Structure 1
Amino acid sequence: MARVPKIAKAANKGPSVVKEIIYGISLGLIAGGLWKMYHWNSQRQTKEFYELLEKGEISVVVDEDK
C-alpha cells in the first residue's frame, strides 16, 4: 500500500476558539479606544467653545451692522 499524505488532515482543521476570542477582544478594545478618543475630542471642542463664549471672544448672536 502506498503512503497517504497528511495534507487532507490539515485542511480539515476547524477554527480555534481561543484565537477567535483573542481576535474578538483585540478588535473590541481597538474599536472602543477609537470611539473613546472621538468622544474625548468632541468633549474638548465643546469645552473650548463654552470657555471662549464665557470670555466674550466669540458670540452666537449675528451682528446686524450689514
Structure 2
Amino acid sequence: MANVPKIGKAIYKGPSIVKEILYGIALGIAVGGLWKMHHWNNQRRTKEFYDLLEKGEISVVAEDE
C-alpha cells in the first residue's frame, strides 16, 4: 500500500477579485449594449412615425364616420 496516491483535499480560496471585476465589466458591457440597442430601436420608430406624419400618410386625429 505504499504506492497508493494521496488524494488532496479541495481548498476553497475564496473569490478571485480580478475574475469578479472582469465578469462585472463583461456583464455591464453586454447589458449596456442591449439597453442601447433598445433605445436605438425606439428612436428609429419615433423618427419613422414623425416622417409618416409629415408626409401625410398617417394622422393622429380620429376620422369621423
State TM-score, norm by structure 1.
0.84
Any residues of structure 2 matched to 1:6-45 within 5 Å, and which? 6-7=8-9, 10-45=10-45
Identity %: 67
Query: After superposition, what is the alpha-carbon deviation per residue over 1:10-58, rounded to whole angstroms, capped at 9, x for unaligned?
Result: 3321110000000000000000000000000000000000000000000
In the alignment of these two chains, the number of paired residues is 61
Q: Structure 1 segments of 4 or more deviating over 3 A?
A: none
State TM-score, norm by structure 2.
0.85
Q: Which structure carries more helix by proportion?
A: 1
Give the superposed CA RMSD. Answer: 1.6
Structure 1 gaps, min length 5: none
Confirm or deny that 1:57 pairs with 2:63. Answer: no
